[in-house]
Structure 1
Amino acid sequence: MATPGSPTATVTNPTGTIDPHGSATGAHDIEKGHRPSHINARLNEAQPGFPVCHKQRANPAPLGLFAFATTTLLFSLINAHARHVSLQNIAVGMSFALGGLAQFVAGIFEFCVGNTFGMTAFCGYGAFSFSVAISYWPSSGVLTTYAPTPADPHRLNAAIGLFLMCWFVFTFVLWLGTFRSSVVLCATFFFFWLSLLLLSAGYLANKTGVIKASGWMGIVTSLLAFYVGAHSFLTAEAAPIQLPNPSLARKRA
């Protein structure tokens, strides 16, 4: 039998299972505030500063969270008119590649580790990013379809507002599922549904000030998502620096 320090050593999960509900005994629900029960590693000879971790599965949460946070930050800065930028064109590529593809892939792997919440959130918001990118893609014709007319000069804003209202409902329902996760994750979804509500209301009422306010709420959302992603990533990699993220889960008897 190989010893833990030998090159052929492997690591098995002490419980042999994955808790999809993110309980304290679950090994892979890091994004909900739980640390893996066991990580074994040996030094990488080529890069001594980086351990080679032998785990059954990688944690997909950091990829999904960072993809969500980065895309949300860019869109929110534009909504807040940072540096007087108000057009969404620069965010189309990121929305396709990072917010859409990377986040959807993270959702598929959340399915593989048995995390229903992570799968639903990442696949859902990956599809959301794809749909936003397609809408702003010139060849799709979506924007030209709702071009202003003398009879209805704000119909594009009205269409965007209705679109965002649907995603506000989706996000609000997901927020209800975070009440027993972690403090920062719950706060992330709270600020996200609040930003979507303000953004939808701003477009429907044609109020630039409300849209800017939604942008600032989105910036807060993205920073919180970066924090949760960093917490998950640093924990999964057994980094010497750990970020606190108190759990909201009730202790089981």
Structure 2
Amino acid sequence: MSAPETHNGALEKDVGEIAPQHSGETSAPIQPQLTHEHDVARAAARFGYGPLAHVNTAEAQLRPFGGEFQPGLYKPVEGRKFGNPAPLGLCAFALTTFVLSAINMGAADITEPNIVVALAFGYGGLVQLLAGMWEMAVGNTFGATALSSYGGFWLSFAIVLTPGGFEIASSLGGASSENFNYSFGLFLMGWFIFTTILLFCTLKSTVAFFSLFFFLDLTFLLLGIAYLQGGGTAANAKIAKAGGLFGLLAAFAAWYNALAGIADNSNSFFILPVIHFPWSATGRSRRDKTDRDMA
């Protein structure tokens, strides 16, 4: 096989079949111009999932995608040295949130969230923090900030609830005291503010990605209100249960985005839809394309 044919074969593997030549054209092999657009297309074909599998080669950047935990346009990932750490962090967050939210919902009449302490230290805390650090290594500032911060949340949450360990609750008068409930309510409201900041950064991404932070934002808000309005002895049970419901939704949204980041043509028979907002870059480009086709 000649050198030009080898080059074309490599390109065909990455971006699909090369258009056949018409009968009146020369038989000289096609020499594709290696541009940034071709690099984007090869990256899309390589990863083969979500919007990355359908990148318009006329675009200069890849589209936002929850499976990469990146809400904005970002550089192509072709040839990067590291894998995608986002699904690991999302799964760590989802499982820990699922267990705590189920307890807040009153599942199996469990009254104490002590089992969450182990998850918060080992999985939701440590593993998510490591995933956030790897997000920094691959150049994803949003992913690094979000995953590392929520890893820190779970570690601090575990420290507060560790029985007999750090004595934070007892120093505030006990877990049923007014001081503890108000303090914990302020703790949760601070995370509500932080999550709201991140939520603003997902408004131009996808429905799946936005939903994760929207549900989580409501979870922190409701749980914070439950502790601040608990009457000084315990969290407001009804509001806490509502917070648990939105926590479950946030957990499943995190698992959904994680699966979207893991599943590709090499390991899955299906690809999860992520649903771009109509005002996002992808939504506008698709709408413009439709308008041109109808013109």
TM-score bracket for the superposition, by shorter chain length: 0.7 to 0.9
1:12-161 residue pairs with structure 2 within 5 A? 14=39, 25-26=61-62, 30-31=67-68, 32=70, 56-137=81-162, 138-148=164-174, 153-161=177-185
Q: What residue in structure 1 maps to residue 210 of structure 2? A: 186
- Deviation string 1:122-146 (CA, Å, 9 cap, x unpaired) is 0000000010011111210101112
Q: What residue in structure 2 maps to residue 166 of structure 1? A: 190
User: Percent of counterpart pairs with the same letter?
Assistant: 34
The reply on whether 1:250 has 2:254 as its aligned counterpart is no
Shift of 1:37: 7.1
TM-score by length of 1: 0.78
- Supply the distance in 2 between the matched residues of 1:111 and 1:236 (Cα, whole angstroms): 27
Q: Which 5+ residue runs of structure 2 have no aligned equivalent? A: 10-37, 44-50, 56-60, 231-235, 286-295
CA 1:184/1:153 → structure 2, altered by over 3 Å: closer, same or farther?
same
- Deviation string 1:155-210 (CA, Å, 9 cap, x unpaired) is 21111101101000000100001112211110110011101100000011111111
Q: What residue in structure 2 maps to residue 220 of structure 1? A: 249
- Deviation string 1:231-250 (CA, Å, 9 cap, x unpaired) is 11113855332111123431
Q: What residue in structure 2 maps to residue 46 of structure 1? A: none
TM-score by length of 2: 0.67
- Supply the distance in 2 between the matched residues of 1:240 and 1:168 (Cα, whole angstroms): 37
The reply on whether 1:198 has 2:227 as its aligned counterpart is no
* Aligned pairs, number: 224
Q: Which 5+ residue runs of structure 1 have no aligned equivalent? A: 6-12, 40-53
Q: What residue in structure 2 maps to residue 47 of structure 1? A: none
- Supply the distance in 1 between the matched residues of 2:107 and 2:250 (Cα, whole angstroms): 16
- Supply the distance in 2 between the matched residues of 1:56 and 1:163 (Cα, whole angstroms): 38
Q: What residue in structure 1 maps to residue 35 of structure 2? A: none
- Supply the distance in 1 between the matched residues of 2:249 and 2:105 (Cα, whole angstroms): 12
Moved over 6 A (4+): 36-39
Contact 2:215 2:247 in 1 (8 A): yes
Shift of 1:154: 2.1
Contact 2:218 2:246 in 1 (8 A): yes
Q: What residue in structure 2 maps to residue 48 of structure 1? A: none
Tell me how large the CA RMSD over aligned residues is.
3.2
Contact 1:195 1:214 in 2 (8 A): yes
Shift of 1:86: 2.2
- Supply the distance in 2 between the matched residues of 1:174 and 1:180 (Cα, whole angstroms): 12
Most deviating of 23-32 and 211-220: 23-32
Contact 2:90 2:257 in 1 (8 A): yes
CA 1:28/1:175 → structure 2, altered by over 3 Å: closer, same or farther?
closer
Residue 220 of structure 2 aligns with an amino acid whose one-letter code is L
Residue 281 of structure 2 aligns with an amino acid whose one-letter code is R
Residue 173 of structure 2 aligns with an amino acid whose one-letter code is A
